[in-house]
Amino acid sequence: MKEGRWLSRREFISLVSLSAAAAATGCKGHNAMMERKEISTSELLELSAVDAVAKIRNGEVTAERYAAALVERCQQAKALNAFITLPQDRVLEAARAADRLRSSGARLGPLHGLPIPVKDSVNTKDMPTTGGTPALRNFRPPEDAPIVRALLAAGAIVLGKTNLHELSFGWTSNNLAFGAVHNPYDVQRIPGGSSGGTAVAVAARMAPLGVAEDTEGSIRVPAAMCGIAGLRPTTGRYVSTGVVPISPLFDQVGPHARTVADLALFDSVVTGDGGALRASELKGTKLGLARSYWFRDLDGQLERVTNEALAKLQAAGAELIEADVPGLARLIELTTNPIQNHDVRYALQKYLEEYGAGVTFDQLISQASPDIQRDFRDLLPGGKLFVGDKEYRLVRDRHLPELKEVYRQYFAGTGVAAIVFPATMIPPPLIGEDVEVSIGGKKVPFETAVGRNIAPGSTAGLPGLVVAAGTAPGGLPIGLEFDGPAGSDRALLALGLSVERVLGGAPAPKAVWMT
């Protein structure tokens, strides 16, 4: 990560397409400017991050007014429980400071005046970082995480800290300590996890762009279940220190947004890659379908939406290449859970000590919610999921490299730009359905239904992009995931721009939860 690298004016203009925005206004001279209508609050809430920053920079709307609209929306949507910390006054003061900076004629960063919600496992020095767990309720890290520093240096404002599955250790975001996060498309259902609060904030128009984190699906599952876009970058593309950890081999911060262009803006800011990103040509683009792994035993409605989306991509010119990934199920069983189950106890203890949390690992777990205590008991010596150091070294040094090599050979041999599949096996289940679910009349473990499809990409360190594929009956979102070769993040985002245009995204949720 190259912190504080601002885009040049030329790069910024290319990225946000200001010329197109200016043409859309139809402004010709002073009189037309005078006749331009003030942007309504509802229009502000629908702005993408790219468009919001452009309007703030151009003076079409003040940062304070935009921030006030988002804060008001957060208050109206309190029933969704997306935030743990929401410092309204601080956000508005930061927005006023952004307006003063613009008025001074100073150089502005590419995220100038943009409020961004941050998952509450990511360190922020000016507000608590709870990890969603009781023992850290009042913990204030001494410094911001590198990802937060990069966003602030680019002119962003931290909108608040979002709710999550406790200690990021699950896919529901049904947090027993801080309350369940609710899916804005159906408040009785989960938003996915662990980054459920960030996904809900973005989907419910509380912000256009947010910070999430993904060890095994925690960006991609909520993106799919909330009808938004999410990028889990190639592992290591963004610095992921200063985050409540699970495994340093898998942990990766990344963005949630409603548009792929906003994901690309985030990526350009964090990496310093400000080059123009154009939608790639779908005609002739090869997409891999490995049906024996990712398409087995799917929910019927989810399978229908997935197949309809694939047909649209094929009609747009994409070539669907049927080719399985050799030995994938075996390699995932050997690597994914053993590495996390081993690493989490060491990584958490190191985090607590490094950032001065004032609690030990044992104290952290003893104060955790009953479901988290139960999970961790299985991981400790004597537990049924305990992984010793000798076994761990075999997994890390032999099986994990084997998995990465299998993927490398797959991409090289097939020539596909990405593998495409449904992010989960099911639409969002009801809150509390976290042991098993019913698929086609068959009982399936919840962990399989939600975790099977997303596990391979993050275990192998690949970039994974989720976009909305459509909705099941009742309006529940369904997400498609595209996994590309390691390091192909910008190419994957360029593909995503084209995919998004073809599939059209998800409609906004009906705001029945507003107060």
Return d(Cα 335, Cα 354) in angstroms, integer.
27
The yes-or-no answer on residue 194 being catalytic is yes
- Which one from 48, 121, 218, 498 is the annotated catalytic residue? 218
CB crowding 156-171: b at 16 or more within 10 Å, else e: bbbbbbbbbbbbbbbb
Query: Which residues, in sequence order, are CB contacts of 338 under 8 Å at separation 6+?
Result: 387, 391, 392, 395
Q: Produce one character per residue of 360-376: b if its CB has 16 or more CB atoms within 10 Å, e if not.
A: ebeebbebbbebbeebb
Select which of 48, 168, 194, 498 is catalytic: 194
Strands (E), 70-206: 83-85, 115-119, 157-162, 174-175, 179-180
* Contact call for residues 253 and 357 (beta carbons, < 8 A): no
Apex CA 32: angle with CA 31 and CA 35, to 5°? Answer: 90
Number of Cα atoms under 13 Å in the Cβ half of residue 132 = 37
Q: Could you tell me where the DSSP H helices lie in 316-435?
A: 328-354, 361-366, 370-377, 389-394, 400-414
Q: DSSP for 466-511, please give it.
A: EEEEEE-TTS-EEEEEEE--TT-HHHHHHHHHHHHHHH--PPPPP-
357 phi, psi to nearest 5 deg:
-70, -20
- Give the active site residue among 55, 119, 161, 369: 119
* Catalytic residue ranges: 119, 194, 218
